[in-house]
Amino acid sequence: MTYALETRGLCKRFGAIQVTRNVDLKVEQGARHALIGPNGAGKTTFVNLCTGMLKPSEGAILLNGKEITGVSPQRRVGNGLVRTFQINTLFNALTVAENLAIPTAQRLGKSWLPWGKTSHSAEVVTEVAKLLDELHLLPLADKKISDLAYGQRRLVEIAIALALKPQVLLLDEPAAGIPNGESGMILDLLERLPQDISIVFIEHDMNLVFRFAKKITVLVEGAVLTEGTPAEIRGDQRVRDVYLGRRHHG
């Protein structure tokens, strides 16, 4: 079986500190795969290893069966492995459509200067409108990022990653900072994503995790504690112990 994304024996050490321990993760095609674990479990480090922002100390990363361990972060994006960007990478003075035009133009190999109307490419404009429509975000198209509510900015972040046409999308805490009870707007968007995109997401909002994930991997102290379906993870006493703050010894 060829996995959309796979890691084999992935390890990361910062000097004497081992942050990722022998992680074998298999992300199936079209997955809705959550990576959970307490603070400091190594989730963000794992994502950074997958995207190439960090170099592993040992192990291999495969995208659709092809090893990408030594491939640059930019080429990984070109190969279809995309992560969400943090909010502070949005251009506040530009509109939502203009923010989306930048990665769309990049993917289509066109230049895009929002302030130079003559450089507007019809293809970019059409693609942006199509994406906004698919995500039900057309009403936000002409709003400046600075005028959006926090949760809406998080939606734009995901849209920007989608503009790069990912095969594997890594979402780093899509609902972080969104007030309790409002994460529904993120779930609505996630549920509208094309089924053929394989999604790996880190999230602390367990409500969102249990509603969206089909498979959950639990990381503790840099290693995989266990993985399974939401029902299996919900019923696992070791997972409960970890979240209640008791150390795991088995």
Measured from the Cβ of residue 163, the count of other Cβ atoms closer than 10 Å reads: 24
- Residue 18 contacts ligand ATP per CB under 6 A: no
- If we measure between CA atoms, which residue out of 99, 88, 80, 81 comes closest to residue 156? 99
- Residue 177 contacts ligand ATP per CB under 6 A: no
Give, as ranges, the residues between 115 and 134 that touch ligand ATP (CB under 6 A): none
Nearest CB to ligand ATP, comparing residues 41 and 242:
41
| Minimum CB distance to ligand ATP, residue 30 (Å) | 25
Pair of tokens at residue 58: 């040992």
- Residue 208 contacts ligand ATP per CB under 6 A: no
Q: Which residue stretch of 34-42, 90-98, 187-195, 236-244 sits at the interface with ligand ATP (rule: CB under 6 A)?
A: 34-42
- Residue 198 contacts ligand ATP per CB under 6 A: no
How many residues touch ligand ATP under the rule CB under 6 A: the total is: 11
Cα angle: 224, vertex 229, 234; to 5 degrees: 85
Name the residue with tokens 């890691």.
7
- Residue 55 contacts ligand ATP per CB under 6 A: no
> Which residues make beta-bridge pairs with 67?
62
Strands (E), the chain: 5-14, 17-27, 32-36, 58-63, 66-67, 81-83, 168-172, 198-202, 215-220, 223-228
- Residue 44 contacts ligand ATP per CB under 6 A: yes
Q: Which of 5, 19, 36, 161 binds ligand ATP (CB under 6 A)?
A: 19
Pair of tokens at residue 117: 């109307």
Q: How far apart are CA 80 and CA 52, in angstroms?
A: 13
- Residue 16 contacts ligand ATP per CB under 6 A: no
Name the residue with tokens 């008791």.
246
Nearest CB to ligand ATP, comparing residues 6 and 173:
173
| Minimum CB distance to ligand ATP, residue 98 (Å) | 30
- Residue 40 contacts ligand ATP per CB under 6 A: yes
- Residue 57 contacts ligand ATP per CB under 6 A: no
Q: How far apart are CA 60 and CA 229, in angstroms?
A: 25
Residues at the site binding ligand ATP, with contacts judged by CB under 6 A: 14, 17, 19, 37, 39-45
